[in-house]
């Protein structure tokens, strides 16, 4: 009785959906707890402290001192640096501090923030010489810091809490949008479990959650939500439009925080374009109206971009600074991954390394090609520093010049050495998962086993899960694009996260196949004497579960396809891979018929043991009539 009750709770009715939701929220809480145990909530990342100090100064300048336009006051920079938020040894020695320990001191960070809030001086926010901008970096991170301060106060923990607030919001919208459906919630549980693995890995060896390079992972669940809506062809409704609008807003916000999240936008666009071409070839133009969700995504993205451009401080235009992360700068710097660079080109560029190399390349290009208006190119009269926008322009020209002169070197770099560098970056993160405690791995295995058991019981839900997993795997490949441009551990968060999620999803599919095969063998032995009846039931059940793609295949054609050979033809198998809900009748009549069928089979076995063959045939006919009704 206990076993039957447990099977009913875990596998019947709405309980699988509820348990999947519980697993999702439990995984989010587990990630939160792991982050607290590893002090992610109380420190500043070592590779992100400059960007963080600028964002803190810009946020406080706007919220407390009348500033605007994504700039920070020079006074705020001075206050934060002399309060200990710097790596300058001259300043830290006077305070008795050392880097990087100062960025892991929670009380020091909070004290520095409070000093910046309470400091008062005569400030003219319109003076372009009193402030500084992001200088070719993403200004959306300032909005993130402002949101954290407004919600949770002026402290370093607010950045950590804001991350999980946005994550919980995205997860909750996903759950409410797909209703009581096991496949999407199971896929979300796999993604949430992968999120726990990321927090337990070495991605945060020296960093923390409040890093623009990691905050791009917040785009994964909104992108998955929108991608599933596109594949499903969901009709617009109030709930659907509101949910897609909120997820699109989160996606646009993450894109402003970190421009590398553009891989999600590119993946959604190509997914929509591919389905559009497919429907166009099949002369099903009317079905393209279901792609309304991608229109909302790019509309909100355009609105957010226009808002940022309209809110900029005049300094950005006066000094020629960009409001997004530079692209050609990173592309040119990636040439250093080729070992031949140091023997072939390093001396020609003054042996510059790291981020200094692209600027040196731009300066040398300007020496070879002197500009007609140098005052609009250089930021200072001594011509030591370039304006942000012009620096990006001339770095691009220098790269194209090198590509034209030595295309083999550039091709070898980006086709061989950089993919090898990306592999060397991601693989240590994957191996770090093996150092997770055994009890955590056992819990993950139990969760995956339960999901596999659910999908082994329901073929239609497993097909829906397979389609969602294909979308997730496609996102994994697109997330590799920024890593292939700059193979560094800082930009490996998105591909590593999606790689773990795709691997867990594939393991669920494999386990569900194994469990399904075992169940089939057990049932075939149990009902060997009733094989013809079992086959008829299988046909009827298969027909009931057929959900034509976009509901374009009529009922009569589905019946004909099922009745021809007991299995679906290739065309219907492909089109039945819709994310749409499984058309399994779950009303009271269906449940009553199933109970009647089970009672009838037990009654048949009892009479067979007594040798009454006539009663067997009569009960068998009545049983299947009840099941069909």
- The residue with greater pLDDT, 571 or 81, is 81
Give the pairing of strands 72-73 and 131-132: antiparallel
Grouping H, G, I as helix, E, B as strand and the rest as coil, residue 356 is helix
- In this structure, are residues 58 and 67 in contact, taking their beta carbons and an 8 Å threshold? yes
pLDDT of residue 162: 96
pLDDT of residue 621: 46
Cα–Cα distance, 458 to 439 (Å, whole number): 30
CA angle 388, 393, 394 (to 5 degrees): 100
Q: Is 90 exceeded by the pLDDT of residue 587?
A: no
- In this structure, are residues 250 and 222 in contact, taking their beta carbons and an 8 Å threshold? yes
- In this structure, are residues 277 and 270 in contact, taking their beta carbons and an 8 Å threshold? no
**Mean pLDDT value across the chain:** 80
- In this structure, are residues 500 and 460 in contact, taking their beta carbons and an 8 Å threshold? no
pLDDT tens column, 340-354: 998 888 888 888 888
- The residue with greater pLDDT, 574 or 164, is 164
Q: Characterize 395-422 residue by residue with b for buried, 16 or more Cβ atoms within 10 angstroms of its Cβ, and e for exposed.
A: bbebbeebeeeeeebbeebbeebbeebb
Cα–Cα distance, 493 to 214 (Å, whole number): 6
Residue 112, burial from CB neighbour count under 10 angstroms (0-12, 13-18, 19+): buried
For tokens 């994964």, the residue is 220
- The residue with greater pLDDT, 485 or 411, is 411
262 membership: H or E segment, kind and range: helix 262-281
In angstroms, the Cα distances linking 482 to 162, 412, 493, 609 are 25, 18, 11, 69
Domain ranges of the chain: 49-136, 531-628
Q: Is 70 exceeded by the pLDDT of residue 396?
A: yes
- The residue with greater pLDDT, 478 or 585, is 478
- In this structure, are residues 176 and 239 in contact, taking their beta carbons and an 8 Å threshold? yes
Q: Is 60 exceeded by the pLDDT of residue 452?
A: yes
Cα–Cα distance, 430 to 421 (Å, whole number): 15
pLDDT of residue 279: 79
Peptide bond into 185 cis (omega under 30): no
Per DSSP, the residues of 159-188 read: HHHHHHHHHHHHHHHHHHHH-S-HHHHHHH
Grouping H, G, I as helix, E, B as strand and the rest as coil, residue 378 is strand
Q: Is 70 exceeded by the pLDDT of residue 79?
A: yes
Cα–Cα distance, 495 to 482 (Å, whole number): 9
pLDDT tens column, 1-38: 444 444 443 445 567 778 889 999 999 999 999 999 98
- The residue with greater pLDDT, 590 or 470, is 470
How many CB atoms are closer than 10 A to CB 56?
28
Peptide bond into 288 cis (omega under 30): no
132 membership: H or E segment, kind and range: strand 131-132
Model confidence at 525, pLDDT cuts 50, 70, 90, reads: low
**Out of 238-242, 261-265, 349-353, least confident range:** 349-353
Model confidence at 611, pLDDT cuts 50, 70, 90, reads: very low
How many CB atoms are closer than 10 A to CB 237?
9
Residues 23, 29, 33, 39, CA torsion sign: positive
Per-residue tokens: 260: 């590398």
- In this structure, are residues 131 and 73 in contact, taking their beta carbons and an 8 Å threshold? yes
List the one residue out of 204, 220, 230, 239 whose CA is nearest residue 167.
220
């Amino acid at each position: 009785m206990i076993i039957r009750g447990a099977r009913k709770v875990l596998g019947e009715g709405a309980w699988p959906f509820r348990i999947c939701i519980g697993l999702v929220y439990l995984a989010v809480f587990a990630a939160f707890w792991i982050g607290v145990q590893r002090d992610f909530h109380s420190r500043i990342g070592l590779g992100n402290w400059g960007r963080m100090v600028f964002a803190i100064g810009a946020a406080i300048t706007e919220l407390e001192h009348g500033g605007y336009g994504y700039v920070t006051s020079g006074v705020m920079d001075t206050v934060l640096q002399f309060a200990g938020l710097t790596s300058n040894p001259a300043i830290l020695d006077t305070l008795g501090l050392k880097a990087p320990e100062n960025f892991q001191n929670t009380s020091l960070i909070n004290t520095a923030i409070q000093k910046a809030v309470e400091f008062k001086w005569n400030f003219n926010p319109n003076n372009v010489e009193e402030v500084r901008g992001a200088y070719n970096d993403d200004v959306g991170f300032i909005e993130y810091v402002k949101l954290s301060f407004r919600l949770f106060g002026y402290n370093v923990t607010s950045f950590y809490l804001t991350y999980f607030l946005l994550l919980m919001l995205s997860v909750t919208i996903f759950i409410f949008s797909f209703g009581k459906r096991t496949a999407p919630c199971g896929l979300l549980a796999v993604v949430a479990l992968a999120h726990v693995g990321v927090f337990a890995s070495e991605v945060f060896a020296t960093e923390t959650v409040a890093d623009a390079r990691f905050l791009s992972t917040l785009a994964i669940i909104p992108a998955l939500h929108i991608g599933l809506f596109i594949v499903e062809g969901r009709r617009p409704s109030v709930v659907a439009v509101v949910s897609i609008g909120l997820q699109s807003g989160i996606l646009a916000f993450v894109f402003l925080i970190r421009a590398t999240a553009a891989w999600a936008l590119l993946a959604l666009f190509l997914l929509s374009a591919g389905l559009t071409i497919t429907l166009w070839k099949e002369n099903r133009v009317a079905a393209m109206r279901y792609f309304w969700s991608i229109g909302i995504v790019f509309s909100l993205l355009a609105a957010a971009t226009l808002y940022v451009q309209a809110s900029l401080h005049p300094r950005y235009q006066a000094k020629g600074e960009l409001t997004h992360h530079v692209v050609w700068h990173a592309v040119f710097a990636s040439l250093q991954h080729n070992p031949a660079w140091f023997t072939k080109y390093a001396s020609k560029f003054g042996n510059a390394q790291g981020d200094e190399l692209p600027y040196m390349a731009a300066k040398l290009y300007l020496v070879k090609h002197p500009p007609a208006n140098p005052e609009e190119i250089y930021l200072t009269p001594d011509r030591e520093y370039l304006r942000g926008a012009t620096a990006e322009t001339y770095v691009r020209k220098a790269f194209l010049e090198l590509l034209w002169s030595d295309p083999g070197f550039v091709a070898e770099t980006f086709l061989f050495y950089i993919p090898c560098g990306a592999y060397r970056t991601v693989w240590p993160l994957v191996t770090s998962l093996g150092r997770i405690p055994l009890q955590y791995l056992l819990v993950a295995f139990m969760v995956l086993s339960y999901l596999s058991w659910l999908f082994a019981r329901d073929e239609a839900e497993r097909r829906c899960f397979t389609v969602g997993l294909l979308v997730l795997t496609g996102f994994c490949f697109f997330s590799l694009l920024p890593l292939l441009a700059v193979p560094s551990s800082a930009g490996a968060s998105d591909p590593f996260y999606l790689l773990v999620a795709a691997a867990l999803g594939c393991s669920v599919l494999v386990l569900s196949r194994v469990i399904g095969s075992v169940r089939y063998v057990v049932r075939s032995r149990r009902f060997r004497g009733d094989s013809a009846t079992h086959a008829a039931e299988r046909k009827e059940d298969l027909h009931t579960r057929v959900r034509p793609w976009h509901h374009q295949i009529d009922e009569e054609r589905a019946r004909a396809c099922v009745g021809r050979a007991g299995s679906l033809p290739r065309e219907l198998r492909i089109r039945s891979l819709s994310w749409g809900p499984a058309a399994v009748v779950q009303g009271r009549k269906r449940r009553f018929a199933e109970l009647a069928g089970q009672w009838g089979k037990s009654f048949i076995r009892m009479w067979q043991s007594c040798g009454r063959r006539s009663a067997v045939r009569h009960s068998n006919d009545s049983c299947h009539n009840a099941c069909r009704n």
